[in-house]
Amino acid sequence: MANPTTNYGWVMPAATDLVTDLPADFNVFGQAVDTSMQYLLGGTTGQVLAKTSGTNMAFTWTTPQVGDITDVAVTSPITGGGSSGAVTIAIQDATTAVKGATQLTDSISSTSITTAATPNSVKTSYDLANGAIAKTTVTTAGDIIYRNATVPTRLGIGTASQVLSVNSGATAPEWTTLAAAGLTLITRQTYTTSSAINVDNVFSATYENYLIICKNSAVSAASNINIRLRVSGADNSTSNYSTGAAESNNAGVTNRYNTAQTSFFAATFDQSSIWSMTATMVNPFIANSTSFHFSNLADSGGFRTGTGAGNFAATTSFTGFSLLPQAAATMTGVVAVYGYKI
């Protein structure tokens, strides 16, 4: 029995061995098997077979250590894992589509979709928003924003042709309608056999200057006509009126110059005269001296013209005027007042 096997060194009987050697040969064979397989003998419950060296059949039974990992399973956003070999664990980058690791940033202007804001950048953005004007302050196309005493305030859009100006208290802007270009009719007033024609509430802050047109269709007696300024429906009869005038007719020219009077001289007319007058009143509403410029025409059997100017020498604000026939005469006609600016 000299032919050992390569793997285990077991002694096997040869074909020429005598049968009488069989018990001894089996004994040798059994010992060889026992020696070669001793490490494979049964262990105990829970043990596992482990190698002790690189030698063939070098095994041993061993109890696994508590906590040994036999498999690593992962789910998103964790990547890697496995049940054998070197196991690698990682975390994927976050996007708007998947969760994962995110880089923080202090930027308040970044457009990145893979970074996250820090509390510092959120606070900075809040401070900027808190100091901004709320979009809801304006509600209509064309609105503008101004600051009142404390906060931004809406001024609604104005209407066509209005301009932006400052209110009377000089505290806020407002929309103002400008007076139309040219003359604007303020009032047109007719009178019949009147001994005094009062024209009230025609001078205001809207206009600086005024055009007065007066046309008589009948008069009751030859007389002069005067103009007296009024305030709130009452004549101002103080001696502050002065007038200079030149009148001409077929008899020649007559010059007039009157000071410290209680009214302006405006015209001379004959009985039944068709009489007309145009006059310009400069700055009557402004608390300053008021000037008066006029021309007139009378035609009743004789042709008469006149022109002149006057001045009220006191700083008074007027709101109207009176046409005053003299010598107890009365008049029938119409008077119109227009406002204009220069």
3-state helix/strand/coil string of the chain = CCCCCCCCCCCCCCCCCCHHHHHHHHHHHHHHHHHHHHHHCCCCCCCEEEECCCCCCCEEEECCCCCCCCCECCCCCEEECECCCCCCEEECECCCCCCCECEEECCCCCCCCCEEECHHHHHHHHHHHHCCCCHHHCCCCCCEEEECCCCEEEECCCCCCEEEEECCCCCCEEEEECCCCCCEEEEEEEEEEECCEEECCCCCCCCCEEEEEEEEEEECCCEEEEEEEEECCEECCCCCEEEEEEEEECCEEEEEEEEEECCEEEEEECCCCEEEEEEEEECCCCCEEEEEEEEEEEECCCEEEEEEEEEEEEEECCCEEEEEECCCCCEEEEEEEEEECC
Q: Which of 174-183, 200-209, 264-273 has the highest mean pLDDT?
A: 200-209
Whole-number average pLDDT of the chain: 84
Over residues 86-95, the mean pLDDT reads: 87
Q: What is the pLDDT of residue 3?
A: 52
Considering only residues 9 and 190, tell me which one the structure prediction assigns the higher pLDDT. 190
Q: What is the pLDDT of residue 38?
A: 60
Q: Is 208 exposed, middle or buried (0-12, 13-18, 19+ CB in 10 A)?
A: middle
208: pLDDT strictly greater than 80: yes
304 neighbors 297 (Cβ within 8 angstroms): yes
Over residues 75-87, the mean pLDDT reads: 83
Q: Is 210 exposed, middle or buried (0-12, 13-18, 19+ CB in 10 A)?
A: buried
Give the whole-angstrom CA distance, residue 195 versus residue 331: 7
**19, 20, 22, 27 alpha-carbon torsion, rounded to 10°:** -170
Over residues 236-244, the mean pLDDT reads: 95
pLDDT tens column, 124-167: 988 888 888 888 888 889 899 988 888 899 999 988 888 888 88
The lowest-confidence range among 18-22, 63-67, 74-78, 315-319 is 18-22
Considering only residues 245 and 54, tell me which one the structure prediction assigns the higher pLDDT. 245
Q: What is the pLDDT of residue 24?
A: 61
The lowest-confidence range among 40-49, 100-109, 229-238, 241-250 is 40-49
Q: Which amino acid makes up residue 86?
A: A
Over residues 193-198, the mean pLDDT reads: 94
Q: What is the pLDDT of residue 20?
A: 53
What SS3 string covers 16-73? CCCHHHHHHHHHHHHHHHHHHHHHHCCCCCCCEEEECCCCCCCEEEECCCCCCCCCEC
Domains of the chain: 1-63 (no CATH), 135-177 (no CATH), 184-340 (2.60.120)
pLDDT range class, residue 197, cuts 50, 70, 90: very high
Give the whole-angstrom CA distance, residue 12 versus residue 10: 6
pLDDT tens column, 95-136: 888 888 888 999 999 998 888 899 999 999 888 888 888 888
- Among 210, 239, 212, CA closest to 296: 212
Considering only residues 312 and 32, tell me which one the structure prediction assigns the higher pLDDT. 312
Q: What is the pLDDT of residue 27?
A: 61
Q: What percent of the chain has pLDDT over 90?
A: 34
The lowest-confidence range among 27-41, 257-271, 284-298 is 27-41
Considering only residues 181 and 58, tell me which one the structure prediction assigns the higher pLDDT. 58
Q: What is the pLDDT of residue 16?
A: 63
The lowest-confidence range among 102-111, 190-199, 300-309 is 300-309
Q: What percent of the chain has pLDDT over 70?
A: 85
Q: What is the pLDDT of residue 33?
A: 58
200 neighbors 233 (Cβ within 8 angstroms): yes
Q: What is the pLDDT of residue 1?
A: 47
Measured in whole angstroms, the distance separating CA 70 from the mean position of its chain's CA atoms is: 67
Strands 115-117 and 103-105 turn out to be: parallel
Over residues 230-242, the mean pLDDT reads: 95
